[in-house]
Structure 1
Amino acid sequence: MVQLTSKTPTPEAVAELKTYIRRLNSKAGQMKMDLHDLAEGLPTDYQNLLEVATKTYDIFRELDQLNKQLKQWEEQLK
């Protein structure tokens, strides 16, 4: 994970964060589809529902935090 910081960012750090966010977005999309597929198949595999939902929540929460950090960094570099 990219380290969130309050220090003044560098253009390189912004580029690294953007790359990480792109990769995480791809993973988040796959997690969303996995959760959707699991939900459609209920009650089969209901035992996995909490685990998959928690992982999906965690990845989208991280994405939200990183996107806020990116926006803040880009504002600081203007």
Structure 2
Amino acid sequence: MKVTVCIGSSCHIKGSRQVVEQLQYLINENNIGDKVELAGTFCMGECQQGVCVTVDEEFHSVTPDSVKEFFEKNILSKVK
């Protein structure tokens, strides 16, 4: 599974660094680093949507406050 987080200026202002850090922590905590590739990219063209994240090309809008719920629903449930 490939998870890509936008680290462009608009998403950075909205908390992409915190989103990346939390995802790194959750991936390690759940021992799924061998199943999940976490990557960064610049603008995805959906700047108004908040921190843009794709999971295997499927778009999601994530905030630092919604990372855990997003992770459990869209990543953990699909790789376990």
Instruction: Note whether the superposition's TM-score is higher than 0.5.
Output: no
Higher Rg of the two aligned structures: 1
Greater share of helix: 1
Normalised by the length of structure 2, the TM-score is 0.33
Greater share of strand: 2
